Amino acid sequence: MSSDGVTVIAHPLVAHKLTIMRRKDTSTKSFRQLLREIALLLAYEATRDLELTSIEIETPLTTMQAPTLAGKKLVFAPILRAGMGLLEGMLDLVPSARVAHVGLYRDPATLTAIEYYFKAPEDMEDRMVIVLDPMLATANSATAAIERLKQAGAKDVRFVCLLAAPEGVARLRAAHPDVPIITAAIDDHLNDHGYIVPGLGDAGDRIYGTK
């Protein structure tokens, strides 16, 4: 994790897959598959500091002290609907994680986040909560989702996205300085409609083949 709380994953496979995802002629099928693949690599980075403890096990040859997770459980919290596109790859890596759903939509006029659904496990305070949204643009949704998850008890929160705008990173860090951000890339800027440039368009539309 970098010192300013923002980690950009520098890996040739991530860079290559992201380039394909950005292309406007990439199919829905390929986009969804690539997002799943990158999500697994983002999950790997986001869970890097999970604590380990040691247990004694028997291998076919001998006994040994072997590392095992110390017990802190995970919750993935996708922001509906585009966040669901990151969920599958995360669950590929951590199949036993719980899932909290945060339903927010962006008011097209004000770009503010409006909540329409929220459901989370009861023991949020004991879990590492990884909030998922492919695009960190204005940060309105991310900020509101994290606020809501903290109200539900979350204390150890991270935010994972595929692409971020510098404006979104700054706003999220200001609103929630305790929440590290993990992303595959930080792009140039936000346009007047709140889209990341150069970006990849509307992530939800590209995942689900809508317009």
Annotated binding site for 5-phospho-alpha-D-ribose 1-diphosphate, which residues?
Answer: 81, 106, 133-141, 202
Q: Is 199 in the site for ligand URA (CB under 6 A)?
A: yes
**Annotated catalytic residue, options 22, 26, 156, 202:** 202
Let me know: does 82 contact 203? Beta carbons within 8 Å: yes
**CB of residue 87 vs ligand URA: minimum separation in angstroms?**
16
Whose Cβ is closer to ligand URA: residue 52's or residue 114's?
114
Q: Is 137 in the site for ligand URA (CB under 6 A)?
A: yes
| Cα angle, residue 186 at apex, residues 173 and 112 outer, rounded to 5° | 55
49 catalytic? Reply is no
Handedness of CA 24, 29, 30, 35 (dihedral sign): positive
Q: Is 135 in the site for ligand URA (CB under 6 A)?
A: yes
Handedness of CA 194, 139, 21, 100 (dihedral sign): negative
110 catalytic? Reply is yes
**Annotated catalytic residue, options 98, 106, 126, 156:** 106
* Window of 2-10, 40-48, 146-154, 197-205 that interacts with ligand URA by CB under 6 A: 197-205
Sequence-ordered list of residues with C-beta below 8 angstroms from that of 33, at least 6 positions apart, any chain? none
Q: Is 169 in the site for ligand URA (CB under 6 A)?
A: no
Let me know: does 28 contact 195? Beta carbons within 8 Å: no
- For residue 14, with 0-12 CB atoms within 10 Å meaning exposed, 13-18 middle and 19 or more buried, which class applies? buried
State the Cα–Cα distance between residues 195 and 192, nearest whole angstrom. 7
* Window of 29-37, 119-127, 173-181, 195-203 that interacts with ligand URA by CB under 6 A: 195-203
Kindly list the residues in this chain that would bind ligand URA in the complex (CB under 6 A): 82, 135, 137, 194-196, 199, 202-204
